[in-house]
Amino acid sequence: MIFSNRVGDRDKRFSGFNRLVRARFIALFIPLTLLNIAALMLANSLYINVEQAKQQALVQAAIEVGTNLAQHDLTTVMSHLEFLTASENVESFMNSGIDDSKAHIEREFLNLANTSQLYDQIRLISPSGMELVRIDYFGDQAVAVVPELLQDKSNRYYFQEAAAITTDKMYISALDLNLENGVIEQPLKPMIRFAKPLKDENGELRGVIVLNYFANLLLDKFRNQMMFAPGEGALLNKDGYWLSSRDPSQEWGFMLNHKQSFGADSPELWQTISLTEKGSVENSDGLVTFATVHPIKDIDKKVANRDHFIDEWRIIIVNTYWGLGPALILSKMEFLYPALIIYPIGLILIWFWARASVGRKCAERELKKLNKTLTLRVAERTRELAVIKDVTILSMATLAETRDNETGQHLRRTQTYVKLLAEELQDHPDFHDFLSDKNIDLLYKSAPLHDIGKVGIPDDILLKPGRLTDFEFEIMKRHTTYGSNAISSSIHTLTSELAENDGPTFLQFAQDIAHYHHEKWDGSGYPNGLSGDDIPIAARIMAIADVFDALSCKRVYKGAFSRDKTESIMLEGRGTHFDPRLIDAFCRINDSFWEVKALFEDEPPEVTNGCIEHFPVEYSQLINFGQGI
């Protein structure tokens, strides 16, 4: 039987040994596997970098070609306009205005429209804005419009802008949609209008020639070029509206009802693009490469409306293939051979090392158990010390309160007020760094010591039911320094013993509260006459809690004030007695203050409709009693 038990114990130990070996093996197997994966990912990353460089070269080439296309087409249109305005037929019309010249102009316009096939319309407009000659392009044929169908264009912006030019420059409109009789033409016709005024030898306006460049020709070339770029290409105007997009429903938002724009969809990205000539930005969609296109060369010399939209377009290409996955390396098997050799050898070495290290691992486990036991004992002792500290604080504060006619619930109310107000201020930018959860807990625990110094005030002054004389009030004010000095002595004595338990930090809160909670924001308080932010935050918070409790509760020298009267007096102290930011926070949570007061009520309050029980006194007098406030 004994032999059987020994065999069973040996089997259990052997089984446990194997479990430890397996666990140790797995603990090293995982890093080795991750290391191999990391090596593969590194190789993949290098390969991706090469591929990305190729892609960006294609992107830059697409942008450059797109820019050249725009400049080439628009330069051609400008040369056509210069040719027409300088032709003999036009000069003859300007000087004589005879119908024969008009007919010659019509034929000249027809020839240009048929040979170039760039224009939706070519027009000669009179100084009054009425069309004199108009060539429309239908299908693959240019047609002269009969006089009955000619329209008045005097109210169209491109005519007005061109007619107002006083130099030998031309007007170029924005790239927008064509209107017929004030309505957007269907199907949509993107247009750029090139116009130049005709002046006679006396400088009088004789007409305006307008070329309606059919911009779909340019946009189609742009779209075709973007097909060679990796990702999705778009063309935007100066205000961030799509002129060309992979989704046609997004285009022309500045004229159609949908109002869609790149700037509205991606405001932060558009801000970067609109303020930068060119660059690249990586986001969740991929690598966004952009460039500013100036489609008109030497625009200052040739175009009158220099500040026009056509001066700046934006080409944007979103390289959605930018984030290539790790699987890319699998297409290059030669990178995998080293890993396939090293990995199995590493596994064998790990297995032998795991068996050799099991003994040390068992010893470490035993040590951890002992450390855990010790840690639990230390934590238990720490909790005991914390409880002893809290009990000591409450006992000291209660001892001070027993000499005062204030009620025992005053301590619980005021420390709860302090915590409520501190938590409300925790998100305020001026107090966020100071009012951490730890510091709020210290404030809550140290608040009961605010009047600890009253133990040093004679009973005939401390317990006096009536108004204090000036001399008595000076004695009463000493309770702040009595309390501060007592706590300061404790800090000096206990610094070495409590340095590791945040003792001085806690006592410093208590000292600040005891010493400064009667200071006022405007500097009229005591004992040091501090003002503004020179008063410690803990003391400013305590002041609001202490004054609120004194006003809302019965005291030996007054009855409990009503809610309206209490809150009115508190607000009177904004910017004088209290920090305005703190009193504003109090106003936001005053309901919680009243709930706390009701929870820790001493006895049914004797509300006196806003008047003090024994004699009426204003707030400025009340705060000078020094008892409970």
3-state secondary structure 221-287: HHHHHHCCCCCEEEEECCCCCEEECCCHHHCCCCCCCCCCCHHHHCHHHHHHHHCCCEEEEEECCEE
Is residue 573 in a domain?
yes
Q: Are residues 294 and 342 in the same domain?
A: no
Give me the pLDDT at residue 607, please: 46
Is residue 225 in a domain?
no
CA 283 from chain centre, in angstroms, equals 16
Give me the pLDDT at residue 400, please: 54
CA 474 from chain centre, in angstroms, equals 53
CA 225 from chain centre, in angstroms, equals 37
Q: Are residues 311 and 391 in the same domain?
A: no
User: Can you tell me whether residue 386 is helix, strand or coil?
Assistant: helix
C-alpha dist (Å) from residue 177 to 186, 212, 335: 10, 11, 55
613 — pLDDT class (breaks 50, 70, 90): very low
Is residue 441 in a domain?
yes
Question: What percent of the chain clears pLDDT 90, i.e. is strictly above it?
Answer: 26
- Output 412 or 611, whichever has higher pLDDT: 412
Q: Do 629 and 546 form a contact (C-beta atoms < 8 A)?
A: yes
pLDDT in tens, 569-587: 999 999 999 999 999 999 9
pLDDT in tens, 226-272: 888 777 889 998 888 988 988 888 999 888 888 899 888 889 889 88
Domain total of the chain: 4
Q: Which residue has the tokens 């705060």?
A: 623
Paired tokens of 494: 């206990």
Q: Are residues 517 and 404 in the same domain?
A: yes
CATH number at residue 260: 3.30.450.20
Give me the pLDDT at residue 335, please: 57
Is residue 364 in a domain?
no
Query: If you average pLDDT over residues 319-326, what whole number do you get?
Result: 60
Q: Phi, psi (5° rounding) for residue 124? A: -115, 125
Does pLDDT of 137 surpass 80? yes
Give me the pLDDT at residue 363, please: 61
Q: Phi, psi (5° rounding) for residue 501? A: -115, 20
CB atoms within 10 A of CB 293: 21
CA angle (443 as vertex; 440, 446 as ends), nearest 5: 150
- Output 277 or 96, whichever has higher pLDDT: 277
Is residue 44 in a domain?
yes
From CA 110, how far away is CA 84, in angstroms rounded?
A: 12
Q: Are residues 425 and 573 in the same domain?
A: yes
Is residue 363 in a domain?
no
Q: Are residues 408 and 509 in the same domain?
A: yes
From CA 114, how far away is CA 451, in angstroms rounded?
A: 100
Does pLDDT of 619 surpass 80? no
Q: Are residues 190 and 253 in the same domain?
A: no
Query: If you average pLDDT over residues 499-512, what whole number do you get?
Result: 69
Query: If you average pLDDT over residues 366-381, what whole number do you get?
Result: 71
489 — pLDDT class (breaks 50, 70, 90): confident
Does pLDDT of 628 surpass 50? no
CATH number at residue 500: 1.10.3210.10
Query: If you average pLDDT over residues 455-467, what whole number do you get?
Result: 82
Give me the pLDDT at residue 507, please: 82
Whole-prediction pTM value?
0.46
* Cis, bond preceding 248 (omega within 30 deg of 0): no
Q: Are residues 346 and 441 in the same domain?
A: no
Of 287-296, 351-360, 392-401, least confident by mean pLDDT is 392-401
CA 309 from chain centre, in angstroms, equals 31
Q: Do 416 and 596 form a contact (C-beta atoms < 8 A)?
A: yes
Query: If you average pLDDT over residues 34-49, what whole number do you get?
Result: 67
Of 296-300, 327-331, 491-495, least confident by mean pLDDT is 327-331
- Which candidate, 250, 197, 245, places its Cα nearest to that of 219? 245
pLDDT in tens, 541-566: 999 999 999 999 987 777 899 999 99
463 — pLDDT class (breaks 50, 70, 90): confident
Q: Which amino acid is at 207?
A: G
**What is the distance in angstroms between the CA of the first residue and the CA of the last residue of the chain?**
83
DSSP classification of residue 602: S
Is residue 122 in a domain?
yes
Q: Do 95 and 87 form a contact (C-beta atoms < 8 A)?
A: no
Query: If you average pLDDT over residues 148-157, what whole number do you get?
Result: 90
Q: Are residues 96 and 188 in the same domain?
A: yes
For the stretch 353-362, contacts whose Cβ atoms lie closer than 8 Å and that sit 24 or more positions apart, written own/partner, are 353/28, 354/21, 354/22, 354/24, 354/25, 354/27, 354/28, 355/21, 355/24, 357/24, 358/17, 358/20, 358/21, 358/24, 361/20, 361/24, 362/20
Expressed as residue numbers, the domain containing 239 is 231-319
Interacting residues of 258 by C-beta distance below 8 A, sequence separation 6+: 249, 250
Bridge partners (DSSP) listed for residue 555: 558
Q: Are residues 486 and 550 in the same domain?
A: yes
Q: Which amino acid is at 61?
A: A
CA 479 from chain centre, in angstroms, equals 49
**Burial status of residue 139 (CB atoms within 10 A of its CB: 0-12, 13-18, 19 or more):** exposed
Q: Are residues 96 and 191 in the same domain?
A: yes
Q: Are residues 261 and 212 in the same domain?
A: no
- Which candidate, 357, 275, 450, 413, places its Cα nearest to that of 22? 357
Query: If you average pLDDT over residues 76-103, what whole number do you get?
Result: 80
Mark which of 175, 192, 217 sits at the end of a domain.
Answer: 217
Give me the pLDDT at residue 55, please: 66
Paired tokens of 306: 């220099």
Q: Are residues 313 and 336 in the same domain?
A: no
Is residue 627 in a domain?
no
